Amino acid sequence: MQTSFFKMHGLGNDFVILDERAGHLPLTPARIAALAHRRRGIGCDQLVTLRPACAEGADVFVRFFNPDGSEAGACGNASRCVAELIFRQTGNRRPVLQTRAGTLPARIEADGLVTVDMGVPRLEWQAVPLAVEMDTLHLPLEGDPAAASMGNPHATFFVKDFSMLSHGHALEHDPLFPERANIGFARIDTPEHMRLKVHERGAGVTEACGSGACAAVVNAVRRGLVQRRCTVELDGGLLQIEWVESGPQAGHVLMTGATATAFEGTVDLATYAS
Ligand SMILES: N[C@@H](CCC[C@H](N)C(=O)O)C(=O)O
């Protein structure tokens, strides 16, 4: 079964994008993991599928899968890549993406960067989710992280260096996080600039994590460490994040950055584990 795909990335956070708008593909967690494998498959941080939208005003329904086969409610960089793809296919500079985490309006900027409105962060312990009732601004873990949901669960540690990165896997699986969590390590350089590395749930350390950047800025603002507009420097490049204070988008988190297409191809799904 020959299926065409796009290979795109946002700051080196890379995606295989499969189009299911003309019919569902036989994708299982095992097949997704096989396709995402770096040596035996196409290789990606997330596999993304496009289906016809059913939410009013949305152009496409987007789903995100980690290389371990698990599904994520949100993926910021993949959302920006899909917005860019829809723009290329339709000329629409303001595509709207339906995701499990909500309907996300996007915008292709005049300079080619792509902005996605990631919606309003959820800060209640049940929404992250956390295992028991607690203050999401101070989790009872060594290093005093804060938690937030951007449609997927994040914990942010504020650090002086990145020596804790190797603890990412153990922290992802900490019993505090019943659905596991993406673990960010943020070094605050100035109130307008932070350096961030993220161990992603189901994927490991990636070159960039868009939802992780949004969560890090939200948590840093809550701690009084940065301004609501902040540049986040990831291994793969820069994201501009704004947690909007007032106006019609008040409370929403906007993320702007570059996207790129690496290549397009076809793959025979039948040759991958079902
Ligand atoms: N790369 C992402 C996040 C992908 C999903 C994440 N690993 C999860 O399981 O929640 C991004 O750019 O946001």
- Predicted-assembly ipTM surpassing the 0.95 threshold: yes
Q: How confident is the model at residue 70 (pLDDT cuts 50, 70, 90)?
A: very high
**Would residue 139 count as lying in a domain?**
no
**Would residue 123 count as lying in a domain?**
no
User: Are 6 and 81 in the same domain?
Assistant: yes
Cα 271 to ligand 1 centre (Å): 27
User: Are 97 and 172 in the same domain?
Assistant: no
**Would residue 133 count as lying in a domain?**
no
Give the range of the structural domain holding residue 90, as residue numbers without chain letter: 2-107+259-271
Cα 1 to ligand 1 centre (Å): 28
User: Are 221 and 266 in the same domain?
Assistant: no
User: Are 150 and 244 in the same domain?
Assistant: yes
Instruction: Give the mean model confidence (pLDDT) for residues 47-76.
Output: 98
Q: Give the distance, in angstroms, between the CA of residue 14 and the centroid of all CA atoms in the same chain.
A: 11
Each residue's pLDDT tens digit, 139-161: 999 999 999 999 999 999 999 99
Q: What are the φ and ψ backbone dihedral angles of 165, each rounded to 5 degrees?
A: -55, -35
Q: How confident is the model at residue 273 (pLDDT cuts 50, 70, 90)?
A: confident
Residue 274 has pLDDT above 90, yes or no: no
Which of these is catalytic: 75, 81, 214, 230?
75
User: What is the greatest pairwise CA distance in the chain?
Assistant: 53
**Would residue 120 count as lying in a domain?**
no
Average pLDDT in the chain? 98
User: Are 265 and 199 in the same domain?
Assistant: no
CA separation for the pair 160, 163 (Å, rounded): 9
Instruction: Give the mean model confidence (pLDDT) for residues 107-126.
Output: 98
Each residue's pLDDT tens digit, 48-59: 999 999 999 999
Contact between 182 and 155 under an 8 Å Cβ cutoff? The reply is yes
**Would residue 235 count as lying in a domain?**
yes
**Would residue 124 count as lying in a domain?**
no
Q: What is the pLDDT of residue 224?
A: 98
Atom of ligand 1 nearest to the CA of 75: 13
User: Are 74 and 162 in the same domain?
Assistant: no
Residue 190 has pLDDT above 90, yes or no: yes
User: Are 162 and 75 in the same domain?
Assistant: no
Q: Residue 246 maps to which CATH number?
A: 3.10.310.10
Instruction: Give the mean model confidence (pLDDT) for residues 195-220.
Output: 98
Instruction: Give the chain's domain count.
Output: 2
User: Are 173 and 99 in the same domain?
Assistant: no
Q: What is the pLDDT of residue 243?
A: 99
**Would residue 91 count as lying in a domain?**
yes
Atom of ligand 1 nearest to the CA of 45: 1
**Would residue 132 count as lying in a domain?**
no
User: Are 17 and 40 in the same domain?
Assistant: yes
Residue 120 has pLDDT above 90, yes or no: yes
Q: What is the pLDDT of residue 214?
A: 99
User: Are 168 and 186 in the same domain?
Assistant: yes
pTM: 0.98
Q: Which residues of 167-190 are buried (b: 16+ CB within 10 A; e: fewer)?
A: bbeebbeeebbeebbbbbbbbbee
